Amino acid sequence: METFYVTTPIYYVNAKPHIGTAYTTIVADIIARWKRLEGKEVFFLTGTDEHGTKIERAAAAAGKTPQTFVDEISSEFMNTWKPLNISYDKFIRTTDERHIITVNEFLDKLWDNGDIYKGTYEGWYCVPDETFITDTDLKDGNCPSCGREVQRVKEEAYFFALSRYKEDLLQLYSDNPYFIYPESKLKEIRGRLKDNLKDLDITRKGVKWGIPFKFDPEHTIYVWFDALLNYISALGWPNDESFNKFWPVDVHVVGKDIIWFHAVVWPAMLMSAGIDMPKLILAHGWWTVNGTKMSKSLGNVIDPIEMAKKYGADALRYFLIKEKPVWEDGDFSENALVSRINGELMSDLSNLVARTLTLAEKFDGKLKYNEGFSDNLDMTQIVSKFDSYNLSGALEDIWSFVRRTNKYINDNEPWKLNGEKLLIVLNDALEALRIISILIYSFMPETAENLSQQLGLKLGKIDDCKFGEFNGKVKRGKNLFEKVKN
Ligand code: ME8
C-alpha cells in the first residue's frame, strides 16, 4: 500500500492551543483524511515542543516544576484536538524517552562527521521565539520576527556547521522548485541563504530545562535542534521499521514564521546525517482577529474549543479553509463564520440534503442512471487542486457542485415529476449527495458521516466519486446544519 506522511509543527507548551495552532492542525488533518480516502496508508504526526527557556520561565511563573507544567499543557493540546475532529496517528512529546534516544544518536552521527565544533556565541537571543539573532538581523533593536525585546548573549557553545551545506541547499531548491509551497517563499529563502548562512549554535550553557548535551554535560541542546528531530524520532529513527516505511515525509505543514528552520536548518541536519530530504514544506499564512494581531496582552486570543462548542467543529473547519487560500493571511471574525454557516452550510448544503431526502424517503422503487448530470462534477480538477494543496480551491469546486445540484433540483422540480424522468432526476440528486458526502469528508468528517448514514450507505472512497445507480436505503435524520443567530 502506498504510504503518506504528514506532520504539524510541535507546539510550545507555554500557552494553550489557539485558533492559529488549530488552523495548522486542521490543514494537516484535512490532508491526512483525503489521502486515507485515496487509499493510502497515512501517518499523521502532531505533538508538543517542551524544552527551552520559554517553557522554563512559564513553569516558574505558574509556580510549577517544568515537568508538571509540560505534562499539564501537553494534555491540554491532546484534549483540544479530539473535539476538533483531528485524526492524528501519533502525538509526540519532546520529553518522551524515545525522542531523547533519537536526539543522542543523531548527535553521534554529526559529531563523527566533524559537523559539530566548540566555539563562542556572541549575539542576541529572542526568548519567545527561542531564536538566535545577529546584529544585522535586529529590527529597531528588537526581534525581526516577533518585534519583542532580545537579550545579549555571550557564551561558550557548540555549533553545527550549517554553512557547509549552503551549496547543497541551493542545489536542493534548484532540483525541487516545489520544495517550499508557495514558491514565493522559496525565492525569499534562497535570497536570505545566499546573503547570510552562519553556523548554528546548538547548545546552551545557562538553560537547565533541555536535553543534556552528551559530549559536554554543562550544556543542554538548543530547543530547535531537539524539536526538529521529532519528525524522525516519532518514526523510531534509526532502527524502527516505521522509519523505512514512512520516511521521507510527504509534507511538513508549518506557519510562515518557521520556514527558515524547516527549509534550511532541517534539510542541512538531515544531509549531515545522510538521511533523505523531506518532499515538501507547506507554509501557511497568518490569522489576525478582527483585523488585529492575536496576542495574550490584547486579550483577543480565540479559543478553538469555545468556537467548536458554539458552532460545531465542522463549521469551524469549513470556515477556516474556505475563508482564505492556505498560503495567504486571513482575518478571523465570528460574523464571517456565522454568515458562512447560514449561507453556504445551511442554504446550500443542509437544505439540499433535506429536500432531496424527504422526497427520496417516500420513493420505493428502482432508480435509473442516465449520463448527463455527471458532467457537472470535475473530479480531475478537484484532485489536482488537492495535490497542489490548494485546499480552498478544492473546496470552492466542491461547493460549485453542491450549488449545481441545487439548481438542477430547482430547475427540474422532481416533486412534480413522475415516470422515467423522476427516476433519473432522483438518481442524479442522490448520487450527487453520495459523492458530496465523500468530497466533504476531509473538511467536515462528522457531517459527511451523518449524510452518508442518512443515505443508508457506508462512506465511500475518492475512487467512488463516479455516477452510477444509487442503491442506498434512505432514511432522513438530523439536519446537517441549523441556522445560527449572531
Ligand atoms: O514555533 N495564525 O511552536 P509555536 C496561523 N515549537 N498560525 C499560527 C498563528 C496565527 N496567528 N500563530 C501560531 C513553534 N500559528 C515551534 C515549532 S516544529 C519542529 C517546532 C501556528 O507553538 C503556525 O503553524 O510557536 C506556527 O508555525 C505555529 O503555530 C508555531 O507554534
Ligand 1 close to Cβ of residue 13 (< 6 A): no
| Distance, first Cα to last Cα, the chain | 47
Question: How many domains are there within the chain?
Answer: 1
Ligand 1 close to Cβ of residue 9 (< 6 A): yes
Is residue 232 in a domain? Answer: no
Ligand 1 close to Cβ of residue 7 (< 6 A): no
Residue type present at position 247: W
Residues 271-282 have a mean pLDDT of 98
Give the single-character DSSP code of 9.
E
Is residue 143 in a domain? Answer: no
- pLDDT on residue 427: 97
Is residue 447 in a domain? Answer: yes
Is residue 141 in a domain? Answer: no
**How many angstroms separate the CA atoms of 61 and 372, rounded?**
66
**How many angstroms separate the CA atoms of 100 and 241, rounded?**
18
DSSP letters, 95-117, are TSHHHHHHHHHHHHHHHHTT-EE
- Sign for the CA dihedral angle at 185, 187, 193, 195 comes to negative
Is residue 255 in a domain? Answer: no
Ligand 1 close to Cβ of residue 47 (< 6 A): no
Ligand 1 close to Cβ of residue 129 (< 6 A): no
Q: Which of 8, 16, 24, 226 to mutate to test the pocket of ligand 1 (most atoms within 8 A of CB)?
A: 24
**Measuring CA to CA, how many Å separate 108 from each of 49, 96, 101, 111?**
22, 19, 11, 5
Q: Ligand 1 center to residue 93 CA distance, Å?
A: 16
Ligand 1 close to Cβ of residue 294 (< 6 A): yes
The residues facing 201 across adjacent strands are: 159
CATH code of the domain containing 457: 1.10.730.10
Residues 341-366 have a mean pLDDT of 95
Give the tens place of pLDDT for each residue, 15-54. Answer: 889 999 999 999 999 999 999 999 999 999 999 999 999 9
Nearest atom in ligand 1 to the alpha carbon of residue 258 is: 27
Give the tens place of pLDDT for each residue, 148-186. Answer: 999 998 999 999 999 999 999 999 999 999 999 999 999
**How many angstroms separate the CA atoms of 405 and 413, rounded?**
12
Non-local (6+) Cβ contacts of 299 within 8 A are none
Considering the entire predicted model, what is its pTM? 0.96
pLDDT above 90: residue 136: no
Shortest-distance Cα residue to atom 21 of ligand 1: 21
Set of cell numbers at residue 193:
541563504
Give the tens place of pLDDT for each residue, 284-314. Answer: 999 999 889 998 888 899 999 999 999 999 9
Going by pLDDT thresholds of 50, 70 and 90, the confidence category of residue 206 is confident
Side-chain half-sphere exposure of 328, counting CA atoms within 13 A? 13
Shortest-distance Cα residue to atom 19 of ligand 1: 228
Pairing of β 90-93 and β 220-221: unpaired
Is residue 394 in a domain? Answer: yes
Domain region containing 364: 333-464
pLDDT above 90: residue 365: no
Nearest atom in ligand 1 to the alpha carbon of residue 255 is: 27
Q: Ligand 1 center to residue 363 CA distance, Å?
A: 52
Residue found by looking up cell 457506508 in the block? 458
**How many angstroms separate the CA atoms of 407 and 403, rounded?**
6
Q: Which of 13, 16, 19, 23 to mutate to test the pocket of ligand 1 (most atoms within 8 A of CB)?
A: 23
| Rg of the chain, C-alpha, whole Å | 25
Nearest atom in ligand 1 to the alpha carbon of residue 49 is: 6
Residues 427-438 have a mean pLDDT of 98
Pairing of β 90-93 and β 41-49: parallel
pLDDT above 90: residue 482: yes
Task: Give the angle 357-359-362 at the CA atoms, nearest 5°.
Answer: 105
Set of cell numbers at residue 28:
494537516
Ligand 1 close to Cβ of residue 255 (< 6 A): yes
Q: Ligand 1 center to residue 367 CA distance, Å?
A: 51
Give the tens place of pLDDT for each residue, 104-119. Answer: 999 999 999 999 999 9
Give the tens place of pLDDT for each residue, 385-412. Answer: 999 999 999 999 999 999 999 999 999 9
Set of cell numbers at residue 6:
504528514
- pLDDT on residue 298: 84
Task: Give the angle 134-136-139 at the CA atoms, nearest 5°.
Answer: 95
Mean pLDDT, the chain, rounded, equals: 95
Ligand 1 close to Cβ of residue 227 (< 6 A): yes
Set of cell numbers at residue 360:
427520496
Q: Which of 103, 257, 332 to mutate to test the pocket of ligand 1 (most atoms within 8 A of CB)?
A: 257
**How many angstroms separate the CA atoms of 256 and 331, rounded?**
16
Phi, psi of 196 (to 5 degrees): -155, 85
pLDDT above 80: residue 362: yes
**How many angstroms separate the CA atoms of 112 and 116, rounded?**
8
